[in-house]
Amino acid sequence: AIPLRHLYGMKDFVTKTHLILMGKVMLATGLIVGYSYVMEAFFGWYSGSQYEWFMIKNRIWEGPYWAFYWMLMFCNVISPQFLWFKRFRESEFWLFIISIIVSIGMWLERFVIIVTSIQRDFLPSSWAMYSPTIWDWSMFIGTLGFFLCLFFLFIRFLPIISIFEVRTLLPQANVHGRPQDFDENVLEIEYTYDKTDPPNR
C-alpha cells in the first residue's frame, strides 16, 4: 500500500491514519504469533511425548535448520515490537521495512515446517539434508512472478479502492475545499446571473 500510495497519488485516500492503524494491527498479530510459538514449544514439552519433544528440539536448537527457526522468530515476533514506539509507527519508511521483514518471516515459517518434516521423515533410512533442486528454485521464482503478474493486472484493470470507500473518505480528504462539517445529503446549487448579460449559449 505504501508504494502504491506514492506512485498513484492516493495520499488523500490511504491516509497516514490508515498506516498507523495497520502498524498497530501488525504489532497485535506479532504478539499473537509469538504467543502461539511459545505455546507450541511448551505443549511439546508438557505433553510428555518423546516424539513430539524430539521434533520441537530438532526444529529449535538441535537440528541443522535451527538458524532458520530463530530467523523467523526475529522476523515475525521481534521486529514488530519496534512498533510500540511512535517514531517507528508513524514513519512510512519503517512501516514498509518492518512489513517486508514480516513477509520474509512468514515465508521462513513455511520453509521450517516443510523442510524439517522432509529432513526427519518417519524412517531413519530416509533422513537426509534437504538441498533445493533447479525445479524447486523454478517453482519458487515462478510463484513470485505469478503473484506479481496478477497484482499488476489487478491494479491496471480494476479499481484499487472501492467506490464505497472513496465516498466515505471524500469529506476527510477535503478534495473540493469543503468544510469538514459538510453534509453531502444537503446540497443546494444556486445559479444566478445578470439578466442584462445572459450566459453564452
Q: What is the pLDDT along the chain (201 residues), one digit of tens a residue?
A: 788 888 877 777 788 888 999 999 999 999 999 999 999 999 999 988 888 898 888 888 888 889 999 999 999 999 999 999 999 999 999 999 999 999 999 999 999 988 888 887 777 777 888 888 999 999 999 999 999 999 999 988 888 777 776 666 665 555 555 555 555 554 444 444 444 555 554
CA 36 to chain centre: 19
Taking the C-alpha atoms of residue 168 and residue 94, their distance in angstroms, rounded to an integer, is 28
Taking the C-alpha atoms of residue 95 and residue 23, their distance in angstroms, rounded to an integer, is 7
pTM above 0.85, yes or no: no
Each domain of the chain, given as residue ranges in start order, spans 2-130
